[in-house]
Structure 1
Amino acid sequence: MRTTTRSTLPAATAGATAVLALTTAALAAVVLTPAHAGAAGPPRLGGCGPGELCLWEKAGFKGQRHTYELAGTDIESCVALPEGGSAQAIANRTGRPVTTYQSAECAETGEFNTYPGTGTWAPESPYKVRAFKIWES
């Protein structure tokens, strides 16, 4: 989403405002939460419902989707995606924090990130997600 605003601020202040706007836009592109999604709301997530963790094969919530619920997932256990599978986009609607791992064994020697369970949408992971852990609140 691109917005254009006019300002009568001095050039130095307007430049700082532009940098702040770019920084905010860059952050919103990485991880979106309902509190930060703005008036337009969160991105369209398809069938990822409340209480679910959804992982998409491709960035932008595209490609094959894997869906997990608390009822079928052991808390604080490493859950690998199906053999050879990986994910590039994440929606955490479980109500609990979820850590995604580059390693299929949840090894912390590779990349990993934790997403809050309050409703987090990450349209593009900085690495291929191969496993995850759902944590106790």
Structure 2
Amino acid sequence: MRKTVTAGVLAAAVLMPLMAQTATASPPRLGECAAGELCLWEKGNFKGARRTHELSGTDIESCVLLPPGTTAQALANRTGRPVTTYQSAECEETGEFETYPGGGTWVPQSPYQVRAFKVWER
């Protein structure tokens, strides 16, 4: 019986500080993006100017260009549909591109400068 109590006390002594650290550590901060939106930030880690796009103002499977001279480094896809981001400003697949699921994908740092995107039918 004594070994069990000692092991339990020892485990509590080790685990309690770890649990306290975990409870006080804040999770990574995500950018604000409402349900039904695609949000794009000009800088990584959801910083800088944010552009939002909703399905009501976006044609499905059409290439949507970011305004000339602007790019995005971070994004959140909360549209409920897959979204492909493109390095190319014409949605060409000759440059980098990536498709993100629409159920709530948060990308703090795109591997390339996003210049255009397409929203797909499910």
Contact 2:30 2:106 in 1 (8 A): no
Moved >6 Å (runs of 4+): none
TM-score (normalised: structure 1): 0.68
Q: Deviations over 1:83-110 (max 9, x none)?
A: 1110000100000000000001000000
**Corresponding residue pairs, total:** 98
| Alignment pair present for 1:117 and 2:102 | yes
| Alignment pair present for 1:45 and 2:27 | no
Identify the residue that residue 68 of structure 1 maps to in structure 2.
53
Q: Which has the higher helix share?
A: 2
Identify the residue that residue 44 of structure 2 maps to in structure 1.
59
- Unaligned residue ranges in structure 2 (runs of 5+): 1-13, 15-25
Q: Deviations over 1:39-84 (max 9, x none)?
A: x7673322x1000000000000000111000000000000000111
Q: CA RMSD in A?
A: 1.5
Select the residue among 87, 99, 103 that pairs with 2:72.
Answer: 87
TM-score (normalised: structure 2): 0.76
Between the aligned residues of both structures, percent identity stands at: 71
- Unaligned residue ranges in structure 1 (runs of 5+): 1-5, 7-39
Contact 2:78 2:104 in 1 (8 A): yes
Larger Cα-atom Rg: 2
